[in-house]
Structure 1
Amino acid sequence: MRVAAYPSALATVVPAAVAVLKTSHPDVDVKLVDAEPSEAVALVESGEVDVAVAFTYHDDYEVGAGLTWRPTGTERVRLVLPPRYAGSRRPVALGDLGREPWIVGCSRCRAHLADVCRQAGFDPIEHHATDDYVVGQSLVAAGLGVMLREPGGDRGYDGHAPT
């Protein structure tokens, strides 16, 4: 079985799922491919992989004819803030971050960030770009910007982005 999944899912939920599958079906050979959602779905459509693990924001992605989309859960997208916010006496709202430099990811993640920031009354200042959560979190920890932690980057989510 060939499975394509976005990077943070490959680091979290996919290994656990493959381990369970291998326990119950030890003869199944699973090969994993790192691919962003639209690329992963295209790989299924082309027959290069059998399954895609993808995410969407508010059902913003359509799968092609002959494919089935099966939601497996929802996750809350979270703000990742530098240490200087740790002592804040009040919760930090998205609207408070209009002057901050942003660390952005894939094109769909950028579009989602732009949408939610505009709803909060500002356009994000895109300063750094990376699809790697470890890099993004390191940049935030160094005080170089703020970011949204997208689906799959942490297993403790409980809300908005169907995966």
Structure 2
Amino acid sequence: MIDVQRLRILRAVAEHGSFNRAAAALLLTPSAVSQHIASLERSLGHPVAVRSTRGVTLTEPGRLLVEAAETISAELDQVRHEIDRLTADRPRLTVATFTSGGRRLLPAALARFVAVHPDVELTVREAEPETAVPMVRTGSADLALAYHFDGPLPLRAGLDWTPLMDDPLWLALPREHRLAGRDSLDLAELAAERWVSGCLKTEAHLRRYAERASFDLRVAASTTDYFFAQTLVAAGVGVALIPQVSLAPDAAVALVRIGHPRPARHIGVVTPRRRRPHPYARALASALAGAVER
């Protein structure tokens, strides 16, 4: 049988790249770390780590064990949070959400949820998907409202993705812009424009397009707030790509549809895969689906 403590030590060796640094992080001696790894290799019958002058390199069995160690650690964290939830005085639900989803989608769902479950103690944490998804995996959040752009959302084992909606991107232009009256535009028609970035992921998408279309992207302003980005567009700083969920109805900008293929964010809910699903997470996911439909 593989010792869980030795898996934890191997995981630290992989993270720190050396026995000495792993020992320091674990408050062990390098000799103790070396002995644990040697015992793990004897029980497994295969080497898991190779030491060299450049540090420690994991073998293929070692990499598989580290992946298993991460899964086991996440599942144990989930169990600990589940026990805390079961033994709490009041039922609890922790939700992680990206900013614009929290502003435009979550409030209506929460209002519906609270009306049905007034005794649940709610905690809402703002987090981008790259932070929110690991929160669900470790149990520090019961549900995450998240999104992804191209390709599927990368999920580790033990998590489920429930799609809610596609969130198409719009071009936001100053109202007096020469192209503001168009029904649709190709991004290449704005190759000479200065751009306002409202999100690093949107900017990365735009840079990939610019590279394929062979034009240099000129970014005049970078923010992490789509609503702020729209005020900058209204002020004439540049043009921007804005997801539909993030459109500010009072922004003094002209909105133009992007020609085919129209880029979009894909919004959904991330929940842990359990034998007994969290009843309140399931109820909120249902409320979110209802909010999207409305």
Q: What's the TM-score, normalizing by structure 2?
A: 0.50
Per-residue deviation at 1:89? Answer: 5.1
Cα distance change on mapping 1:119 and 1:60 into 2, 3 Å: farther
**Pairwise CA RMSD of aligned residues?**
2.6
In the TM superposition, 1:3-152 aligns within 5 A as 3-85=95-177, 88=180, 90=182, 91-150=184-243, 152=245
Point out the structure with max Rg over C-alpha: 2
Percent of aligned pairs sharing the same letter:
33
Moved over 6 A (4+): 155-159
Amino acid at match of 2:236: G
Whether the aligned pair in 2 keeps the contact of 1:95 and 1:121 (CA below 8 Å) is no
Q: Which has the higher contact order (CA 8 A, sep 6+)?
A: 1
Cα distance change on mapping 1:112 and 1:125 into 2, 3 Å: same
Measured in 2, the distance between the counterparts of 1:108 and 1:130 equals 11
Whether the aligned pair in 1 keeps the contact of 2:230 and 2:248 (CA below 8 Å) is no
Whether the aligned pair in 1 keeps the contact of 2:174 and 2:180 (CA below 8 Å) is no
Per-residue deviation at 1:13? Answer: 0.2
Measured in 2, the distance between the counterparts of 1:126 and 1:29 equals 43
Name which of structure 1's ranges 81-90 and 35-44 shifts more when overlaid on structure 2: 81-90
**For this pair of structures, how many residues does the alignment match?**
163
- 1 or 2, which has the higher strand percentage? 2
- Structure 1: stretches of 5+ with no match in the other structure: none
Measured in 1, the distance between the counterparts of 2:179 and 2:215 equals 24
Cα distance change on mapping 1:92 and 1:133 into 2, 3 Å: same
Cα distance change on mapping 1:87 and 1:147 into 2, 3 Å: closer
Name which of structure 1's ranges 130-139 and 78-87 shifts more when overlaid on structure 2: 78-87
Classify the secondary structure of the residue corresponding to 1:69.
strand
Measured in 2, the distance between the counterparts of 1:132 and 1:100 equals 20
Amino acid at match of 2:169: V
Measured in 2, the distance between the counterparts of 1:88 and 1:141 equals 12
- Structure 2: stretches of 5+ with no match in the other structure: 1-92, 250-256, 268-294
- 1 or 2, which has the higher helix percentage? 2
Cα distance change on mapping 1:106 and 1:155 into 2, 3 Å: closer
